[in-house]
Structure 1
Amino acid sequence: MRWHSIRMWAAAVLSAALLELPFPLAGPMPPWRSVFAWFGLVPLLWAILNPAMVDHPRPLRRAFLVAYLCGVFWYMGNCYWIRDTMLHYGEMPAGAPVLLLIGFSLVLGLYFGLFGLGVMLVRRATGKSNLALAAAPFLWVTLDLAASRITSVPWDQLGYSQVDNGIVNQLAPWTGVYGISFVLVAINALIAVGTVETSDRRRWLTSAVGVLLAATGFAGIAHQPAKSSTTTAAVLVQPNLDVGGDNDWSGPGEWDRHIAEFTHLASEQCKTYIAGIPQTGAPNGEIICPPYNTHPDLIVWPEAPSPFFEGDPRFQNSMAALTQSNQAPLIIGGLAADLSPQNEELDYNAAMVFGADGGRFGRYEKIHLVPFGEYVPFAQYLTFAHKLTGRVSKFTPGERRKVFRLNGHYYGIFICYEAVFADEVRHFAQLGAEVLVNISDDGWYGDTSAPWQHLNMARMRAIENRRWLLRDTNNGVTAVIDPYGRVRQSIPRHQIDALPAQYGFRDDITFYTEHGDVFAWLCAILSLGLMGWCGKANLRLAIQNKVRS
């Protein structure tokens, strides 16, 4: 029995390791690594449903703990960059960044634990492992939805691993990333039948079907949809400001020097860029120099540690001069403030919009703020948090999404972390945005996997809504993403640069854009109903066993 127990725990750790591989680890991910998502969950499913687990005196508790271990290890590996970020920029006490990563993983690992518990509940209630495996994709999607809606950390959900899969990601405009996760878990479950089913014929037949489907799905990385046409151009400025250093522009001549550099970058017309995703180290890929018009149709400055305050007359005058000289509207990240009815100052992380004539056109205030980065959640209860979070900001969340009409077309703007929330980004396209603009500062992540993970999640937003997406960042990855999630143009990270970006417009509405997480909610309703029925069945079983004893 002890050997069986060791194997179960080892299988959980193996699944955690396999499920790390289909995501970026320290740089851009080779598409072939997405294959691990098609079978990485199999060891965990075996650990939950093998006979030794089913016959355990406390199978529900053991299934929860085994899956929980897998989840904790997975989050610690996938989100290791939390430690690095807090260590370098959080001004936290020694050892606190490690404790924060462990605490983060212990909390979010509960979703894996609940998945294991749910699978075992079905197994106990029905007496059939194949029915438990059939329930697995519904349970997984339900918990992904909970991660988005309850803890607000839907980071690297399983479906993102297939962002380069031209066949499988066609589900996204219908189901969002949840449908892709569903398919992946379903294939894992089919393969897992071979490890837990007692009938040899059924075992080999079902597993063979699973492997065949996985191979077919993986073949989608070679599938390339037709190229989308480009009709216009923008300049995406990458200032590469040091997020942890002194970016004070108040010294003699500093403001003018920085604005002159900004103006120079904003006027970039024809230069080399990378056709695809920039690699770490020396750039590779096709280097080309496309022609552009005399003036860009849009200039974008990202979220960055720059002293751009909406109410500062010097800032307003500089932006008016820049837009007038380039005859182009401007989207620029900065800080804005209002007074509340109680005469309290409300500070916003905002994207401000200037017209080509230099006039202020409007602004979008970031709605979904980063917990412990831009605000402290439940601050009235977590009174100790300010000692751990160092330079945490205290922003006020915006209240509504809006689109801006520039040069006859509608643009939707979202900021940094908002890119990971599919059901929120879709509202911009639903409101009429013909192109999406994501401004971000990924400098906090350093040279970890996080900027590449963030990029892939933004790419999925383009796929779900079938929109061009202009992604402008402080220090990379600055890129143009087409409606099929392909990075068409980009520039290297960690350098002062600008990307003259070609893109197009679309106004068609996908099912996901119009209806959102309908598929995920259906999975949740079915899962909750199933858990209710299984809970009652397990309770009856427990009562019967107690009476017999």
Structure 2
Amino acid sequence: MPVPKWMPWAAAVLSAALLELPFPLAGPMPPWRGMIAFVALVPLLWAILAPSGSPRPLRHSFLIGYLCGVLWYAGNCYWIYDTMQIHGGIPPVGSVGLLLIYSLVLGLYFGVFALALKFIAGRLGIGRALVAAPFLWTALELAAARITSVPWDQLGYSQVDNRFFANLAPWAGVYGITFVLLAINAFYAWTWLRAVGSGEARYKTQAWISCAGLGLLLIASGHSLLPVNVPTTATAVLLQPNLDVDTASAWPGPIWDQNIAQITHLATQPCSSYFAGIPETGASTASGCGQPSLIAWPESPAPFFEDEDRFRSAMKQLALTTHSPLIIGGVGMEQTPDELHYFNSGMVFDQNGTPQGRYDKIHLVPYGEFIPFRNLFFFAKKLTRKVEDISRGTDRKTFLLTDRNGQNHRYGIFICYESVFADEIRQFAKNGAEVFVNISDDGWYGDTSAPWQHLNMARMRAIENRRWILRDTNNGVTAVIDPYGRVRQSIPRHTVGALVAQYGFNSEVTFYTRHGDVFAWLCAILSLGFVLRAFTSRSSSQ
């Protein structure tokens, strides 16, 4: 019996709202909210598969899924509006327009999911469609990473604090967690569709009992595991300058000397106070001390140009003063016969201040580091004039550094937005990196959900590769993340400071590090198999 016409649309809106909750909204997310991901998509699955009475059920299902996707992207990434208006100088109407375009494009993934699911259900039955659902969703998350290059807040990130499900990441990456979440949502949807479709009280009772039982099991499994002890063997000083991203970064005359003096002062502090966890979550405070094996400076608007003598001289003096190697965010430069190329770089110096090379950012931020279709976005003149296209790096190199005790360890550096691309970051570990250094500037996001979402995605990279991450940011969240994704130390946002960070090294190569997104690609292949099987089958009565 067809449901009322308004109910599937209301269910799509409900799913979009529920799906916002397992991710940070305006601050760090309480871990319990991650459990909502186990049921958030049930209303959408029901809306897609329940009899609608529409003469065009495939189009109807696509539009229901598309509505859910547009609403979710607009809510999850509302920070685009703030970034474009405050830092891009785009008027409110234009900022809303950019957010809407973004949501309309990426919302298509939800629409395609709904279309494929309905098509399979019409040919193979609802049961087989729900079996296909986890494969379809995982495949479309892979498409979002590879085609549109926006794998922001994939569903599996919602379980970064769930130790039971996070253990899938070293094997299948975040996609493995996504798959399990969709399978559980599909089970709930199947149970509910069966109960409602039969109309018998006993089926409804069984549905509630099975759903409640599975829910309790999931809650218990995720939060009852004992934490793994991971010892620390080294110390780094992570500098947080808290520079205004909109301020000119020339540092003329005495300003340069004052700022370099402040950097040296922060880098040579033997101790610092910190949060033993994520800021703003009630984490306890403590104090840490140690002789550094590394000094890091984040991506920031500081005028650190590779070819400038004053920069090289200042870094040499800093290295000699601290007896430590340095990783410094700045502007790499390379002259070719045609032009001078600029790179967003992590520049590396040994403990004597001798340059050891640089890592040039490979995955650049659209509209932040280059403007795709610059002529098309004529209405964003202030933004397009402000952003000069930066050249892309080509090599995910790692660096062998010697600390003050003569110990050699290999470091992998990635910059800001690159942390959301799992298959790219794992290559640093595959190339021998024993620890990751993530330098970032989240000042563009302001006090929105984005810095916290970004942090959680970086935490998943630690889990997938079982690596410590030294996350050094311009204005927070500066933190140390252990190989199980736990924030062990951090300092407050929007403050000038330094984190004396305790960390360790690991040369283990996980299955995900070695093989990457093989599980997600398998889901993509099987998804095509489901669709092709449906094409060759006659219509099912469902």
TM bucket normalised to smaller: over 0.9
Tell me what 1:125 maps to: 123
Paired with 2:189 and 2:326, the residues of 1 have a C-alpha distance of: 53
Note if contact 2:325-2:401 (Cα within 8 Å) is conserved in structure 1: yes
Report what 2:184 is aligned to.
187
Deviations 1:216-258 (A, max 9, x none): 22331343431200001000000000011233311x3100000
Query: 1:462, 1:481 within 8 Å by CA — same for their partners in 2?
Result: yes
Say if 1:168 and 1:217, in contact at 8 Å, map to a contact too: no
Q: 1:206, CA displacement in angstroms? A: 6.4
**How far apart, CA to CA, are the structure 2 residues paired with 1:369 and 1:299?**
25
Q: Distance in 1 between matches of 2:289 and 2:75?
A: 43
For residue 481 of structure 2, what is the amino acid of its counterpart?
I
- Which residue of 230, 241, 244 corresponds with 2:243? 241
- CA apart distance, 1:460: 0.1
Preserved CA contact (<8 Å) 1:386 1:392? no
Counting only pairs closer than 5 Å after superposition, residues 139-178 of structure 1 correspond to structure 2 as 139-178=136-175
Q: 1:385 to 1:398 in 2, by over 3 A?
A: farther
Asked if 1:136 is matched to 2:130, the reply is: no
Q: In 2, are the aligned partners of 1:238 and 1:478 still within 8 Å (CA)?
A: yes
One-letter amino acid of the counterpart of residue 161, structure 2: D
Matched, 1:366 2:342: no
- In structure 2, the CA distance between the partners of 1:476 and 1:222, relative to structure 1 (3 Å rule), is farther
Instruction: Give the SS at the match of 1:305.
Output: coil
Q: How does 1:282-321 map to 2 (within 5 A)?
A: 284-293=282-291, 296-321=292-317
Per the TM alignment, residue 202 of structure 1 is displaced from its structure 2 partner at its CA by 6.6
Matched residues in 2 for 1:179 and 1:203: separation? 31
Counterpart code for 1:151: T
Q: TM-score, normalised by structure 1?
A: 0.93
User: How far did 1:339 drift?
Assistant: 1.9
Are 1:347 and 2:342 an aligned pair? yes
Superposition pairs for residues 404-483 of structure 1, below 5 Å?
A: 404-407=399-402, 408-483=408-483
Which residue type is aligned with residue 40 of structure 1?
A: A
Q: How does 1:65-76 map to 2 (within 5 A)?
A: 65-76=63-74
Specify the alignment match of 1:116 in structure 2: 114
SS in 2 for 1:350: strand
Report the AA paired with residue 240 of structure 2: Q
CA shift for structure 1 position 203: 6.7
| Counterpart for residue 394 of structure 2 | 399
- Answer whether contact 2:65 2:111 (CA < 8 A) is retained: yes
Asked if structure 1 preserves the Cα contact closer than 8 Å seen for 2:289 and 2:500, the reply is no
SS at match of 1:176: helix
Q: Counterpart of 2:301 in structure 1: which amino acid?
A: P
C-alpha contact 1:31 1:221 (8 A) present in aligned 2 = no
CA contact (8 A) 1:34 1:218 kept: no
Name the residue aligned to 2:405. Answer: none
Q: What is residue 42 of structure 1 aligned with on the other side?
A: 42
Matched residue, 1:263: 264
Q: Distance in 2 between matches of 1:36 and 1:71?
A: 17
Deviations 1:249-289 (A, max 9, x none): 11x31000000000011112112111000017xxx322222
- Separation in structure 1 between the aligned mates of residue 139 and residue 54 of structure 2, nearest angstrom: 27
- What secondary structure, in the 3-state scheme, does the structure 2 residue paired with 1:25 have? coil
- What is the deviation of 1:35? 1.1
Cα distance in 2 between the residues matched to 1:535 and 1:475 = 53
**Residue in 1 that maps onto 2:378:** 384
| CA offset digits 1:478-535 (Å, max 9, x no partner) | 0000000000000000000000000000001000000000100000000012112323
What letter is aligned with 1:15? Answer: S
Q: Which residue of 1 aligns with 2:278?
A: 277
Aligned residue identity for 1:165: N
Distance 1:204 1:518 in 2: 40
Question: Which of 69, 77, 85 is equivalent to 1:79?
Answer: 77
CA contact (8 A) 2:288 2:501 kept: no
Equivalenced residues, count: 529
Q: Which residue of 1 aligns with 2:322?
A: 326
Distance in 2 between residues matched to 1:464 and 1:444, nearest whole Å: 27
Partner of 1:101: 99
Contact map agreement 2:169 2:512 (CA 8 A) in 1: yes
Paired residues of 1:190 and 1:207 also in contact (CA < 8 A): no
Inter-partner Cα distance in structure 2 for 1:301 and 1:209: 52
Structure 2 Cα separation of the partners of residues 424 and 26 of structure 1: 28
Name stretches of at least 5 consecutive residues in structure 2 with no aligned partner.
403-407
* Whole-Å separation in 2 of the counterparts to 1:239 and 1:193: 52
For structure 1, list consecutive stretches of 5 or more residues without a partner in the other structure: 543-549
Separation of aligned partners in 2, 1:424 and 1:269: 35
State the Cα distance separating 1:365 from its structure 2 match. Answer: 0.2
Residues 443 and 474 of structure 2 are in contact (CA less than 8 Å); yes or no, is this contact kept in structure 1?
yes
Cα distance between partner residues in 2 of 1:36 and 1:249: 48
| Equivalent residue, structure 2, for 1:526 | 526
Given that 2:90 and 2:380 are in contact with CA atoms closer than 8 Å, whether structure 1 keeps it comes out as: no
Give the Å deviation of 1:91.
2.1
Moved more, 91-100 or 168-177: 91-100
Secondary structure, aligned partner of 2:5: helix
Letter in 2 for 1:299: I
Q: Distance in 1 between matches of 2:48 and 2:15?
A: 12
Q: CA deviation at 1:541?
A: 4.9
Report the residue type matching 2:528 in the other structure: L
Provide Cα deviations, 1:115-149, integer angstroms capped at 9, x if missing partner: 101110111111x2121111110000000000000
Contact 1:190 1:206 in 2 (8 A): no
Going from structure 1 to structure 2, the CA distance change for 1:47 and 1:314 (only over 3 Å counts) comes to: same
How much identity, in percent, do the aligned residues show? 58
- Report SS of the residue matched to 2:500: strand
- Check conservation: 1:96, 1:388, Cα contact below 8 A: no
- Taking a change above 3 Å as real, the CA distance of residues 275 and 307 of structure 1, as seen in their structure-2 partners, is same
Q: What RMSD over aligned residues (CA atoms) do the two structures have, in Å?
A: 1.8
> Where has structure 1 moved over 6 Å in runs of 4 or more?
none
> Are 1:76 and 1:105, in contact at CA under 8 Å, matched by a contact in 2?
yes
Corresponding letter in the other structure for 2:326: L
